């Protein structure tokens, strides 16, 4: 676990606190701890912050996923923004680096979300864009229940926290890619074994055949392999359509 060193931090210790966070995030082997360290720091360093989370918007369908929420409220706010297709996170996703709301009851940019946020007891919000991987949009979201909960100083601190959030989120991306690569490797290995048994060829020749099938059908090797594995063992009497 990363240690919480931010409670009661004053101006003189802010640089030390942020340096401690950066070191903890970059050296952590536990992704959940790294993400939680950022959101916990947000609630500890910003007096007006009641809760925080890191939202990831990914895929063609723009799927929303909340990470390291310090309470259930951030997840509810993320769900509302996904439902309405509007709000500070969506604004950040379309290009803004930071979005600040001082009072949702008088904010006019996102009528549906503002009303829902007010009904949920959220009055102020800071949302910072996290620069991550292509096709993945991240945001550090900090929520306050008071009017004008955040100051210009809070916004500056939030920008520094967002940098650490981007690093932590990259850990998630790398882990997901690594797990996906392992799964693909296993499936390709199974498909190669099936082809080797079916045609009596070696591993190099089997992979060459998979590659040719991939090129001919304009389908990734991993997808071709998954189709073969799904169809089951390839036997001489009933060869897979992919291998005819």
151 and 186 share a domain?
Answer: no
Asked whether the predicted pLDDT for residue 76 surpasses 70, the reply is yes
Asked whether the predicted pLDDT for residue 235 surpasses 80, the reply is no
> Taking CA 61 as the corner, what is the angle to CA 56 and CA 64, rounded to the nearest 5 degrees?
25
In a domain, 17, yes or no: no
In a domain, 15, yes or no: no
146 and 216 share a domain?
Answer: no
**pLDDT (average), residues 69-74:** 97
Asked whether the predicted pLDDT for residue 13 surpasses 90, the reply is no
Give the count of beta carbons closer than 10 Å to the beta carbon of residue 205.
14
The Cα 55–Cα 138 span in angstroms is 6
Structural domain containing residue 32: 28-177
In a domain, 13, yes or no: no
94 and 211 share a domain?
Answer: no
Q: Please identify, among 177, 201, 217, the residue that sits at the C-terminal boundary of a domain.
A: 177
Asked whether the predicted pLDDT for residue 236 surpasses 50, the reply is no
32 and 139 share a domain?
Answer: yes
95 and 160 share a domain?
Answer: yes
Q: In this structure, what CATH number is given to the domain that contains residue 118?
A: 3.30.450.40
In a domain, 211, yes or no: yes
**pLDDT (average), residues 115-124:** 97
Asked whether the predicted pLDDT for residue 5 surpasses 50, the reply is no
Number of domains into which the chain is organized = 2
In a domain, 100, yes or no: yes
The Cα 56–Cα 171 span in angstroms is 13
Q: Which of 89, 50, 91 is nearest to 73 (CA)?
A: 50
**pLDDT (average), residues 82-87:** 95
Say what the alpha-carbon torsion angle 106, 108, 110, 116 is, to the nearest 10 degrees. 30
The Cα 47–Cα 150 span in angstroms is 8
77 and 155 share a domain?
Answer: yes
Residue 233: pLDDT band by 50, 70, 90 thresholds? low
93 and 111 share a domain?
Answer: yes
> Residue 168: which H helix or E strand, with range?
helix 152-199
**pLDDT (average), residues 111-120:** 97
Among 19-28, 48-57, 166-175, whose mean pLDDT is lowest? 19-28
> Residue 226: which H helix or E strand, with range?
helix 221-231
In a domain, 195, yes or no: yes
| Percentages of the chain per state (helix, strand, coil), in multiples of 5 | 55, 15, 30
Rg of the chain (C-alpha set): 24
DSSP state string for 116-140 = HHHHTT--EEEEEEE--STTEEEEE
Residue 14: pLDDT band by 50, 70, 90 thresholds? low
Give the count of beta carbons closer than 10 Å to the beta carbon of residue 71.
14
65 and 136 share a domain?
Answer: yes
Please give the residue that has the higher pLDDT: either 101 or 27: 101
78 and 121 share a domain?
Answer: yes
For the chain, how many residues are written? 244
The Cα 140–Cα 158 span in angstroms is 8
58 and 160 share a domain?
Answer: yes
In a domain, 20, yes or no: no
Identify the sign of the CA torsion 141, 144, 145, 150.
negative
Longest dimension (CA), the chain: 77
Q: Please identify, among 177, 192, 208, the residue that sits at the C-terminal boundary of a domain.
A: 177
Q: Please identify, among 177, 200, 215, the residue that sits at the C-terminal boundary of a domain.
A: 177
Q: In this structure, what CATH number is given to the domain that contains residue 187?
A: 1.10.10.10
110 and 155 share a domain?
Answer: yes
Instruction: Tell me the two tokens of residue 235.
Output: 């036997």
173 and 208 share a domain?
Answer: no
Calculate what percentage of the chain has a pLDDT beyond 90.
Answer: 38
**pLDDT (average), residues 73-99:** 92
Among 72-81, 87-96, 143-152, 171-180, whose mean pLDDT is lowest? 171-180
């Amino acid at each position: 676990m990363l240690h919480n060193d931010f409670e009661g931090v004053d101006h003189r210790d802010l640089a030390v606190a942020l340096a401690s966070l950066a070191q903890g995030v970059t050296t952590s082997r536990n992704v959940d701890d790294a993400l939680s360290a950022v959101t916990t720091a947000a609630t500890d360093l910003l007096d007006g912050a009641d809760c925080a989370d890191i939202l990831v918007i990914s895929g063609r369908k723009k799927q929303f996923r909340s990470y390291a929420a310090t309470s259930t409220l951030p997840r509810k706010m993320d769900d509302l923004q996904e439902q309405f297709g509007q709000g500070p996170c969506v604004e950040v996703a379309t290009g803004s680096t930071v979005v600040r709301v001082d009072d949702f009851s008088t904010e006019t940019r996102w009528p549906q979300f503002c009303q829902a946020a007010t009904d949920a007891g959220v009055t102020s919000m800071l949302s910072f864009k996290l620069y991550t991987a292509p096709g993945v949009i991240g945001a550090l979201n900090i929520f306050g229940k008071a009017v004008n909960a955040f100051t210009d100083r809070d916004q500056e601190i939030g920008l520094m926290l967002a940098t650490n959030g981007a690093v932590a989120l990259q850990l998630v991306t790398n882990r997901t890619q690594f797990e996906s690569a392992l799964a693909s490797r296993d499936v390709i290995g199974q498909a190669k074994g099936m082809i080797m048994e079916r045609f009596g060829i070696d591993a190099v020749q089997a992979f060459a055949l998979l590659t040719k099938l991939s090129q001919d059908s304009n389908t990734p090797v991993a997808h071709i392999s998954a189709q073969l594995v799904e169809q089951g063992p390839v036997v001489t009497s009933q060869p897979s359509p992919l291998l005819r």
